[in-house]
């Protein structure tokens, strides 16, 4: 058993080495539950993060941003908090999400209510935002209550999905996946104190290797939101790092890349 683990670990390490040094920037950062920030959207945008997350419920015919149903404020719509500001930015940036036209911004919309009806409502709302749906540097990714894969081709091509490493995807469906995500606690009980054990590190390296082979970026959710954990994620070469502390994480990545 030990020999098998050792061989697998060596294989994963060699796989990582073959990809060369990974560079982390603000574009590696996901602003987790961005709507709970003191300044939603703007803080993440000004820090040039690559990913902004908004949880939405279908309520009274529109999409409302909230983490749970009891927190719903009908005034806090996806339109007001994210779509309108993004439309303003693309207008200023000559049809690009950021002033640097090489950089991509992903708006990850986590569906908290029933998937098909919520996503259908989103598509209908986005018909009013052709500047967003045609923007080549803005990606709209659906997470949470994602509709069945059998229905993906019924939604517009500008809609992408958040995948899972334990699902099998057809070639066509894999093309609709923007990145692959999983719960950190499925791999380790490590909560940022001491060091994770070797068996857990092996499991993490294996899932990362699988996603690398599929040519898909990977992220964990539920990771301790600390400097030590951020460093662990970069050591493991996790592509996307989520945080509630955008400013601190961006500063940390900038310092470690100097």
Q: What is the token pair recorded at 114? A: 């029933």
33 Ramachandran zone, left/alpha/beta (phi>0; psi -120 to 50) = left
Superfamily of domain 2-256: Phosphatidylinositol (PI) phosphodiesterase (3.20.20.190)
The answer to which of 10-14, 41-45, 145-149 has the lowest mean pLDDT is 10-14
pLDDT of residue 22: 86
Contact 44, 27 (CB under 8 A): no
The C-alpha atoms of residue 179 and residue 77 are separated, in whole angstroms, by: 25
Kindly state the average pLDDT of the residues 52-62: 97
**What average pLDDT does the structure give for the chain?**
93
Kindly state the average pLDDT of the residues 50-70: 97
- How far, in whole angstroms, is CA 178 from its chain's centroid? 9
Regarding pTM above 0.85, the answer is yes
% of the chain residues with pLDDT over 70: 91
The answer to which of 18-27, 47-56, 86-95, 214-223 has the lowest mean pLDDT is 18-27
Interacting residues of 204 by C-beta distance below 8 A, sequence separation 6+: 187, 188, 196, 236
pLDDT bucket at 20, cuts 50 / 70 / 90: low
Neighbours of 214 (CB within 10 A): 15
pLDDT bucket at 257, cuts 50 / 70 / 90: confident
Judged against a pLDDT cut of 90, whether residue 211 lies above it is answered with yes
Contact 123, 157 (CB under 8 A): no
pLDDT of residue 194: 87
Contact 153, 175 (CB under 8 A): no
């Amino acid at each position: 058993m030990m020999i098998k683990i050792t061989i697998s670990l060596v294989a994963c390490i060699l796989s990582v080495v073959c990809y060369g040094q990974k560079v982390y920037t603000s574009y590696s950062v996901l602003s987790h539950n961005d709507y709970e920030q003191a300044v939603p959207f703007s803080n993440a945008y000004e820090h040039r993060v690559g990913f902004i997350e908004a949880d939405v419920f279908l309520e009274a015919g529109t999409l409302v941003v909230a983490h749970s149903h009891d927190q719903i404020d009908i005034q806090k719509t996806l339109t007001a908090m994210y779509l309108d500001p993004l439309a303003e930015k693309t207008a200023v940036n000559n049809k690009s999400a950021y002033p640097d036209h090489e950089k991509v911004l992903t708006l990850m919309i986590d569906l908290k209510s029933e998937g098909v009806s919520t996503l259908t409502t989103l598509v209908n709302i986005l018909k009013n935002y052709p500047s967003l749906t045609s923007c080549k540097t803005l990606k709209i990714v659906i997470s949470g209550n994602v509709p069945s894969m059998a229905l993906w081709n019924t939604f517009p091509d500008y809609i992408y999905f958040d995948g899972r490493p334990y699902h099998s995807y057809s070639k066509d469906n894999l093309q609709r996946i923007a990145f692959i995500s999983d719960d950190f606690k499925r791999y380790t009980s490590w909560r940022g104190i001491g060091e994770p054990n070797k068996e857990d590190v092996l499991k993490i390296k294996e899932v990362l290797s699988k996603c690398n082979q599929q040519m898909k970026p990977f992220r964990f959710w539920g990771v301790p939101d600390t400097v030590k954990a951020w460093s662990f994620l970069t050591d493991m070469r996790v592509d996307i790092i989520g945080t509630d502390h955008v400013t601190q994480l961006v500063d940390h990545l900038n310092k470690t890349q100097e």
